[in-house]
């Protein structure tokens, strides 16, 4: 448990260490990275299966209770976000097709399970983010291949049918196994014991993610070490992307007078992208340079998520003074 807590607490720092070690080892042993690629399936399973233990498929039934709000989430996640990423890829990365694909993949993949914790810390609607996560995830089974074929196909060949098949056996099977595992553990040890064990699963998933990044960085180490400017090329559109996503979600909530808890759920639900799913698809379908932009993404994403968290006391105060009174007046009428 102590190890799991350490990994969960220092996930981004450990990721940076893994990336640096991968680049260093790949530069010293340039052929080793290519040889280690045979371990990708194992690493992907270690990354995806534990993550799925915490995802309850039956949470999707909660979407029916908030059809209007969930429709807004779907529009943000599967219309605005992909098109915004594609536009930024065209503006900033037209000369770097592998990076452009990585940015588009970032925009197409929906939110991850960590948004629940971020939303809870910001005193937002955490239960709603569970519904957002599962609903967006299931919708992505079909929408991710379609959007990648349509938007990324101009940069590299994308087989939507093959991607759909890959999502089925690399994501759906771990999802089913994860749910069966959770049910079995709760039945065997009880809900309280399961909740005590729950932090272990993200930590194990992180280990799989580290394995994938380490192998990927080794495989492309020579090109990356010799081209340090790649980091800046990647970082700029990602910063613009997250700035606009957070800004537009808060602006929409302000204009439509959504309550503060739902505003937080909306902001994190459209901006806290699922790193594991994006990484799995990048590894299976695209080049190590595409994986590189996925490697930089969590470093930037967590800064924005933490920055938004720092802003939430100010936003909560603003909402209490300017939005909540109006909502209460509407309820009274």
Mean pLDDT per 10-residue interval, the chain, length 333 residues: 71 79 83 74 79 71 78 94 96 93 94 81 86 85 91 88 81 82 86 79 80 78 78 92 96 92 93 86 85 84 89 91 65 48
The pLDDT score that the predictor gives to residue 330 is 46
Which tokens sit at 165?
Answer: 């098949």
How many helical (H) and strand (E) elements, i.e. helices and strands, does the chain have? 19, 0
Report the DSSP beta bridge partners of residue 273. Answer: 111
In this structure, what CATH number is given to the domain that contains residue 124? 1.20.1530.20
Distance separating alpha carbons of residues 104 and 99, to the nearest angstrom: 9
Global confidence as pTM? 0.84
| pLDDT in the model for residue 295 | 80
71-85 burial by CB neighbour count: b if 16+ within 10 A, else e?
ebbbebbbebbbebb
Q: Which residues contact 141 (CB under 8 A, 6 or more apart)?
A: 164, 167, 168, 171, 172
Give the C-alpha distances (Å, rounded to integers) separating 155 from 98, 229, 286: 8, 21, 11
pLDDT at position 140: 87
* Tokens 């938007």 belong to residue: 151
Q: Which domain, by its residues, includes 266?
A: 2-332
> Would the CA dihedral through 40, 7, 117, 305 be positive or negative?
negative
Closest CA to 228 of 287, 155, 296, 152: 296
Specify the number of domains making up the chain.
1
């Amino acid at each position: 448990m102590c190890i799991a807590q350490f990994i969960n607490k220092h996930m981004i720092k450990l990721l940076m260490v893994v990336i640096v070690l991968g680049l260093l080892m790949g530069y010293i042993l340039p052929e080793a990275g290519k040889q280690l690629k045979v371990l990708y399936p194992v690493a992907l399973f270690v990354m995806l299966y534990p993550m799925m233990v915490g995802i309850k498929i039956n949470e999707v039934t909660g979407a029916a209770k908030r059809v209007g709000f969930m429709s807004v989430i779907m529009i943000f996640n599967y219309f605005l976000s992909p098109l915004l990423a594609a536009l930024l890829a065209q503006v900033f990365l037209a000369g770097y097709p592998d990076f452009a694909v990585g940015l588009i993949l970032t925009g197409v993949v929906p939110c991850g399970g960590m948004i629940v914790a971020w939303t809870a810390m910001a005193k937002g609607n955490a239960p709603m983010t569970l519904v957002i996560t599962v609903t967006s995830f299931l919708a992505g089974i079909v929408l991710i291949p379609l959007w990648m074929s349509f938007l990324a196909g101009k940069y590299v060949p994308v087989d939507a049918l093959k991607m759909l098949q890959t999502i089925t056996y690399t994501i759906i099977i771990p999802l089913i196994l994860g749910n069966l595992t959770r049910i079995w553990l709760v039945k065997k040890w009880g809900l309280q014991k399961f909740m005590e064990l729950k932090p272990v699963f993200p930590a194990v998933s992180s280990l799989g993610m580290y394995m994938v990044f380490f192998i990927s960085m080794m495989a492309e180490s020579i090109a990356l070490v010799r081209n340090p400017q790649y980091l800046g090329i990647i970082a700029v559109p990602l910063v613009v992307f997250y700035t606009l996503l957070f800004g537009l979600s808060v602006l929409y909530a302000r204009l439509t007078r959504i309550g503060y808890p739902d505003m937080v759920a909306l902001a994190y639900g459209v901006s806290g992208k699922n790193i594991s799913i994006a990484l799995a698809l990048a590894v299976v379908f695209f080049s190590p340079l595409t994986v590189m932009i996925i490697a930089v993404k969590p470093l930037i994403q967590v800064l924005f998520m933490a920055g938004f968290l720092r802003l939430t006391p100010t936003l909560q105060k603003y909402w209490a003074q300017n939005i909540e009174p109006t909502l209460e007046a509407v309820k009274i009428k």
